[in-house]
Each structure stands twice: as C-alpha cells, then as structure tokens.
Chains A and B, each alone.
Chain A
Amino acid sequence: MALLEIRNVSRRFGDFLAVDNVSLEVGAGEFFTLVGPSGCGKTTLLRMIAGFDQPDTGQIVLEGKNLEGTPPEARNVHTVFQSYALFPHMTVEQNIAFPLRMAKTADDQIKPRVAEALEDVRLADKGKRYPHELSGGQRQRVALARALVNRPKLLLLDEPLAALDAKLKEQMQLELIELQREVGVTFIYVTHDQGEALALSHRIAVMNHGIIEQLDEPSKVYGFPKNRFVADFIGTCNLWEGTVTSAGERDFVLDLDGIGTARAIPNTTTKAMPQPGQRGCLTLRPEKLRIAADLAPLPEENSAAGKVHDFLYLGDVTIYIVNLDQGARIEAMLPNAASGRTRFFEVGDPVKIAWRVDAGHFIDG
C-alpha cells in the first residue's frame, strides 16, 4: 500500500481552479517531486497535504487514514518552508526541540535527540545560536533538522533551495539526497526548477494548470516527454511539427515543417505506429544532434543543412542556433570537452546537422 494517496483532489479559489482532479500515490521512502511553473497548483497541493488548506473535493489518505478534518498539528507530516520559518526568538536548539516538546517528549529525551539532529546536519556547535546569526545554508539545515527530529512519516519541502546561490544550491542538493537516504523519511519536494527536480527525485510529477501532465522517473520525463508542455518545460528541446507520410515495420517517415523528410520510431510508451496523414511532433534534445561543417549521414541518421544564426558559449558546452535552408530554426549543442577551442563555427557558416532515427521522441496528435 502506498504511504500517501491523493484521490481526485480539486481546489478552487474563486474562478481559479488551482488543483484539478489530481490523483497520485507516493510510496514509503520515496523522494517525490512536484515540478511546474508558478501557479500550476503544486504549492496548493503541498499545503493541502500539510493541512493548511482543505480540498474542495477528493481525499488525501496517509497510511490508509483519510486526513479530512485532521488539523496540521495532528498530521504526522512536517514541512520545510521556503522562508525556513525558523522561530527568531528561539535558539537553534530550542527550534529543534519545539516539535519534541509539542509531542510531549520526556525532558531527558529531548536533549540527546536535539544533539543527534544537530549532528545529522553537521551543526553540532551552533546549537546556542539564534537563526539570524546563521548563514543561509545553515538556516536551511536547521529547518531540515527541526522538521526531521521526531521522524515524521512524510516531509514536505516547499522550494527550500530557492533562496540559495547556485554553488550552495548544488552542495545542498547532494546533502538532501544523502540525508533522505539516511533517515529514510519520504520526501515530497516542490520546485519550479526542472534541473533540481531531475537531480533529486526518484519520481517527478510535472504539473501545469492544476493537472499532472506526466508522472515518471526523471530519465523518462526527460527522454520520453508525454506531450509538448513536458518536453518544453523539462530541459531545452526542439519541437518539430510534421505530418506522417508513410509507415513501415519498425519506423515511419515524417515530413517535418521547415526541415524536410525524416525517419522516426513510434512513441516509446504507446508503441503505436502512426498512420500516414497523421500530425504529430518530434521532440529532439539539442545534445542528440550532430553538427559539423560537412558530414555524411550514417545509414541510421536523418540530416538537414543550414547556416549558423547565433551561438551561446556556456563554458562546458556551446549552443548553436541554426537556421535551416528549409526555414526552421533549431538548437544544437556541442560539448567543448575535446578541443581547446571555444567555438567551432562563426555566425553565417554553412553547417550540416544529423540525428539518429531513434534519437527523437514522437508525440502523437
């Protein structure tokens, strides 16, 4: 049985449908992420799980028990807030002891458990400090220690890394993964940052306009997006619209608008071979494109020709924007690993691109 079940939950604010009939299950010990643009309903869903808000319809079930009517304090669920919400008038120790005191833990138990929690987040020497005396990363860790000290069944994290700078963010991501593995508590993580979602999670639910667009493992969400929104929201992606002209045994031929004809394989999930005349969209990640001044496509490759319109040098990789001769504008990525050079082409250079028949992911309809 799943630890948490969300069954047909909806929540409306006036005319705005924040959460639209959402159902999902989260298993024990899972690191589960809700990702989506702002206003997609992810925070509303999180607040309903925590008990700060009630669904208009549907149920939230934790360990088989319907949480309807259970106030936040009676739920075995804790939250790490975006602002951390550390009590400014309490020391770090007092903050961490708070949930233990609320749970009427025996006094002689509180001290060792607070000390242990501080060890877990490597802040053993900061117990007597006040929150305002700590750095952003340290506050973040206190918030985690406080929320985890009495081992809730479920930990909700609301954009906890949003306030940190890029370097610290990466470090905290690693710490979060490690911490979750150590304590074994189920995490439900809310973020608008798709990179963060991919890096941290066991499973990801991509939300938009109150519904879940796709719920899958990170590699599936990235590699086999279910629809155009997911493809576009998770990572960067070329979305090529086109019409199926003929279908074969294993693959089919598409006429892609502004690009030309190309072979592709059916949708990996549905495995349905599209019929000639059907419209669809081929999604292709920039790193799966080969780009060169001149190239001969391999037997299993499609190709097209164009001119470099612009490029973005990002250090590790360079992104090339190419205007194809047929009219489409595409994005290709080249790693700068091998050469000492910072760029391979100049603006205006004629180039050829190629991609494997099975590199793209076809979205029907």
Chain B
Amino acid sequence: MANQPAAGLRARMARWPVTAPPTLYLVLFFLVPTLIMVLASIQYPGEFGGLSPILIEDQGHTRLDITLENYQRAVSETIYLQLFLKSLWYAIVTTVLCLVLAYPLSMMIARSNKKYRDLLLLLVILPFWSNFLIRIYAWMIILGPQAALAKGVNAALGAVGMEPVSLLFSPFAVIVGLVYVHLPFMILPLYANLEKHDPTLLDAAQDLGANAWQRFWKVTFPLSLPGVYAGAALVFIPALGAFAVPDLLGGTDAIMIGNVIKEQFREARDWPFGAALSFVLMAVALLAALAAAWAGKRYQQQAD
C-alpha cells in the first residue's frame, strides 16, 4: 500500500509506458518552452527581430551575451508599471464582479430541487461552450455606438446636458467582457462547494435564533470560502493575462499587459522584452495561485 519494497524495480518499470509519454510531451512542449522564455528574457533582441545569440564570438573568445536591461525597462518605464497596475485593477474588479454575480446563482442552484440542479448548471455552462471570440463579439454588437443601449444612454446624457460617451472601446467594455468570459470559472467551484453544505446547519442556526442575514454571513459564507478562493484564482489569473478581450473591446486607453506582450511579438518585434514582461506576468499569476492554495489550505486546517 504505502511502500512496497518487494515490488520495487519491477513496479517502477511497469510505470514507464504510462508515465513516460505524457511526461515527455509536456516536458518538451511546456517545460522547455517556458525555460526558453525565461532565457529569452535576458537576451538581446536580434537585428531583424527574434533573438540575438546567447554566445557570441568576440575577438576570438566566446562569451555570454546576456542582459538584465529588459527587466530594468519593464520596471523603470512608468508606462509599463502603470499598465501592470491597470491590468491588476481590471482583474481585481472582474474577480469581485464575478463573485457578486456568481454567488446568488450558485446558491440558487445548490438549494434547488436535486432533479433540476444538473439542468440549471448545464444552462450556466452552455454559453461557455460557444466560441470565445463570438462571446466577445456579441458585446461588440450590444455596446456598439449604433445599438439601442448606447443610443439610450447617450440620449439620457444629452438630456442632462452631458457629452455623449462611447460604451464600446472603453474600460467599461473591457470589464463587461472579462466578467462575461470568466463568470463560469467562478460559478462552478462555488456551486461545487455550496452543494455540499448540510442544509440542517441552516436549520440549526435558525433554531438558535439567527435571522436570514445572519445565517448567510455566519454560516453559509464562511463555509463557502474554499470555493470562493478557488473561483477567485480561476478568474483572476486568466483575467490578468487577458489579451483578446481588451484587444477587441478596449480602446487605446483600455489596453492590458497582454496586449503589450502581443505587440512585442508582432509589431515591435522585441522578443526579449516581451519575454521579460511575460515572466513578470507569470510570477504575479503564480503568486496569486499560491495565495489561493495557501488560503484554501489554511481554511482546511481550521476546519479540521
């Protein structure tokens, strides 16, 4: 069971056909690329885009040609720092809005009749399965300048003597898009948690004198925290690295860090700087993931 010394070598050999193929594939196409990205972030850009070689011939000697300039740039040029902060801010607002929207829905599904739960949940996932770009595009229509929503808003603004605004290509549009695209990531873990709650706990709380509001804040919400942490991580991390949503829904002043990374690889062709920005983004994402895992674990220990 725990350790089988007698089984030893033969058992280890038997593992290989199962573990080796996926491990090799992911090492080759995930781990190695990631390491190359880290390496690229300390290289100089090539003359015509791409990367300049790491080892160069210099007066008959071979020397290492690496630099920390890319990171210096990412930290010192305020435009990139601001961009990081803005991306963080968008991701946080998105996470909070997702939580606010997801909570009542997850709670409703978890508390409804067992017969309908799967169907209600499927209805949440269904739009999620439609093409990612189409879901963003739908908001381009709805928020577009010629759509009823924008016309109505601007008519109202005009009536009180204010300048018309553009709903599309704005931070507002980016947030709406991010929330829309990531909402199911919050609903699923929240539901999975809420569904396991013992309903008699609420009966007990009521029996002991708690009103509906107290029952929620003192019983349901604290117990749902592991689901909240999981959902928050699942929304926050991809939202932070979003690129398609700000690209399509954001204007020039609603771009995020993902757009700048893309620019380095497409238009600007400064791969090392793009890699350095990516590495910073990865560090932030991993920190967020670790924080969520740590919060979840700490909660688990409290519960034990």
A binding-site residues for B, Cβ under 8 Å? 13-14, 53-56
B binding-site residues for A, Cβ under 8 Å? 1-7
Task: Determine if B3 and A13 form an interchain contact, defined as CB atoms under 8 angstroms apart.
Answer: yes
10 cross-chain pairs, A with B, having the tightest CB-CB distances, nearest first: A54-B6, A13-B2, A14-B2, A54-B4, A53-B1, A13-B1, A54-B7, A53-B4, A56-B5, A13-B3
Chain A residues with CB below 8 A from B1, complex form = 13, 53
Q: Could you list 10 further interchain pairs (A-B, Cβ under 8 angstroms) beyond the known A13-B2, A54-B4, A55-B6?
A: A13-B1, A13-B3, A14-B2, A14-B3, A53-B1, A53-B4, A54-B6, A54-B7, A56-B5, A56-B6
Rounded to whole angstroms, the CA-CA distance of A13 and B2 in the bound complex is 7
Rounded to whole angstroms, the CA-CA distance of A143 and B7 in the bound complex is 28
Rounded to whole angstroms, the CA-CA distance of A294 and B275 in the bound complex is 97
Rounded to whole angstroms, the CA-CA distance of A32 and B212 in the bound complex is 59
Rounded to whole angstroms, the CA-CA distance of A294 and B2 in the bound complex is 60
**Nearest Cβ distance between residue A8 and chain B, in whole angstroms?**
16
Nearest B residue (CB) for A13: B2
How many A-B residue pairs have C-beta atoms within 8 angstroms? Tell me.
Answer: 13
Rounded to whole angstroms, the CA-CA distance of A56 and B6 in the bound complex is 7
Rounded to whole angstroms, the CA-CA distance of A56 and B4 in the bound complex is 9
Nearest A residue (CB) for B2: A13
Chain A residues with CB below 8 A from B4, complex form = 53-54
Question: What are 6 A-B interface contacts by the 8 Å CB criterion?
Answer: A13-B1, A53-B1, A53-B4, A54-B4, A56-B5, A56-B6
Nearest A residue (CB) for B7: A54
Rounded to whole angstroms, the CA-CA distance of A133 and B1 in the bound complex is 32
Rounded to whole angstroms, the CA-CA distance of A311 and B7 in the bound complex is 55
Nearest A residue (CB) for B6: A54
Chain B residues with CB below 8 A from A14, complex form = 2-3
Nearest B residue (CB) for A52: B1
Nearest B residue (CB) for A16: B2
Rounded to whole angstroms, the CA-CA distance of A14 and B5 in the bound complex is 11
Rounded to whole angstroms, the CA-CA distance of A53 and B7 in the bound complex is 9
Rounded to whole angstroms, the CA-CA distance of A232 and B5 in the bound complex is 37
Rounded to whole angstroms, the CA-CA distance of A13 and B6 in the bound complex is 13
**Nearest Cβ distance between residue A225 and chain B, in whole angstroms?**
32
Nearest B residue (CB) for A54: B6
Rounded to whole angstroms, the CA-CA distance of A53 and B2 in the bound complex is 10
**Nearest Cβ distance between residue B80 and chain A, in whole angstroms?**
52
**Nearest Cβ distance between residue B1 and chain A, in whole angstroms?**
6
Chain A residues with CB below 8 A from B2, complex form = 13-14
**Nearest Cβ distance between residue B9 and chain A, in whole angstroms?**
13
Chain A residues with CB below 8 A from B3, complex form = 13-14
Nearest A residue (CB) for B8: A54
Chain B residues with CB below 8 A from A56, complex form = 5-6
**Nearest Cβ distance between residue B10 and chain A, in whole angstroms?**
10
Rounded to whole angstroms, the CA-CA distance of A124 and B295 in the bound complex is 56
Rounded to whole angstroms, the CA-CA distance of A55 and B6 in the bound complex is 8
Rounded to whole angstroms, the CA-CA distance of A14 and B1 in the bound complex is 11
**Nearest Cβ distance between residue A39 and chain B, in whole angstroms?**
13
Rounded to whole angstroms, the CA-CA distance of A53 and B1 in the bound complex is 7
**Nearest Cβ distance between residue A240 and chain B, in whole angstroms?**
41
**Nearest Cβ distance between residue B7 and chain A, in whole angstroms?**
7
Rounded to whole angstroms, the CA-CA distance of A248 and B99 in the bound complex is 85
Chain A residues with CB below 8 A from B5, complex form = 56
Chain B residues with CB below 8 A from A13, complex form = 1-3
**Nearest Cβ distance between residue B14 and chain A, in whole angstroms?**
12
Chain A residues with CB below 8 A from B6, complex form = 54-56
Rounded to whole angstroms, the CA-CA distance of A52 and B60 in the bound complex is 65
Nearest B residue (CB) for A18: B1
**Nearest Cβ distance between residue A83 and chain B, in whole angstroms?**
17
Rounded to whole angstroms, the CA-CA distance of A55 and B1 in the bound complex is 12
Interface centre among A14, A54, A55 (most CB of B within 10 A): A54
